[in-house]
Amino acid sequence: MFEAGLFPGVNYYLSCWYKRSEFGIRAAIFFSAAAVAGSCGGLLAWAIERMEGLGGRHGWSWIFIIEGLVTLCIAIASFFMVKDFPENATFLSDRNLARVKYRLAMDKQASAKYEAFDYRYLKDAVTDYKMYLGMLIYMGCDMPLYAFSLFLPSIIAELGYTSENAQMFTIPVYATAAILTIFVGWIADRKGQRGLCNICIAPIGMVGFAMLLIVENPHLKYLATFLGACLASPIP
């Protein structure tokens, strides 16, 4: 529930710094971090599981302890390091600050500076049908994404690999998803057709999920996970 505002909030944050034509690739780079985390997380989990018995704890509990501590430290540091708006960024010179504000003004970015909270904005949002339509579309993207990220090791384990090897076999899948996510974001910015890019990429992922349901050959199922990554990462 608390994670729900992360990606929309990051997108808003990026819009405070970059033009619309520069936004897609940067949002894709951020979102690809989820795929990269899945790739590195699989390798990290494989290594941490070898700590089984250390300190009287199971290997899986060390995964939560170590990754949780790293996340907490980065969260605390980001509170001090991340600046909300260009005008609050102490690391920008006066010339660079003027340049950033000018670029955003020319792009008609209303979010380029701090705006006080007003209940009118909340009312406008909750009474706009397009917001609910967007929520339903995004849910359709997020469900396969989370199903994919949570159950990919289990899917690979069902192909006959041990749990440790299953973690290792997730790495190429997530690496492919990260590369494709950035590539689609780059193409969408250059062509200005983000919706069309999503429409073109979705059938590939749909074929992958259909193959996971239908085929029995383990090698084809592993191939299907790569195709499923096309739906799970670039579209959201």
* Matching residue, tokens 């193959």: 211
Has residue 109 been placed in a domain?
no
Q: Are 171 and 41 in contact (CB under 8 A)?
A: no
Has residue 191 been placed in a domain?
yes
Has residue 8 been placed in a domain?
no
Q: Are 59 and 51 in contact (CB under 8 A)?
A: yes
In Å, what is the CA distance from 132 to each residue of 24, 126, 127, 128, 150?
22, 8, 9, 7, 26
Has residue 214 been placed in a domain?
yes
Please tell me the predicted confidence (pLDDT) of residue 76.
92
Q: Are 209 and 114 in contact (CB under 8 A)?
A: no
- Counted domains in the chain: 1
Comparing C-alpha atoms, which of 126, 174, 123, 128 is closest to residue 150?
Answer: 174
Has residue 54 been placed in a domain?
yes
Has residue 7 been placed in a domain?
no
Please tell me the predicted confidence (pLDDT) of residue 73.
93
Domain of 48, in residue numbers: 17-82+116-232
**Whole-model pTM over 0.75:** no
Q: Are 214 and 192 in contact (CB under 8 A)?
A: no
* Matching residue, tokens 């380029």: 112
Please tell me the predicted confidence (pLDDT) of residue 87.
79
Q: Give per-residue pLDDT as tens, 27-86.
A: 888 877 777 776 676 677 777 777 777 777 777 788 788 888 988 998 899 888 888 788
Q: Are 37 and 171 in contact (CB under 8 A)?
A: no
* Phi/psi-derived region of residue 82, left when phi > 0, alpha when psi is between -120 and 50, beta in every other case: beta
Per-residue pLDDT of the chain (236 residues; tens, 9 = 90+): 777 788 888 888 888 888 877 877 888 888 777 777 766 766 777 777 777 777 777 777 887 888 889 889 988 998 888 887 887 788 888 888 888 888 887 776 655 556 677 788 888 888 989 889 888 887 877 777 777 777 777 777 777 766 666 667 777 888 888 888 888 888 887 877 777 877 888 888 888 888 888 888 878 888 888 888 777 665 55
CA–CA–CA angle 203, 209, 210 (5° rounding): 85
Has residue 4 been placed in a domain?
no
The single-letter code of the amino acid at 115 is: E
Provide DSSP, 17-72.
TS-HHHHHHHHHHHHHHHHHHHHHHHHHHHHHGGGTTGGG--HHHHHHHHHHHHHH
Has residue 104 been placed in a domain?
no
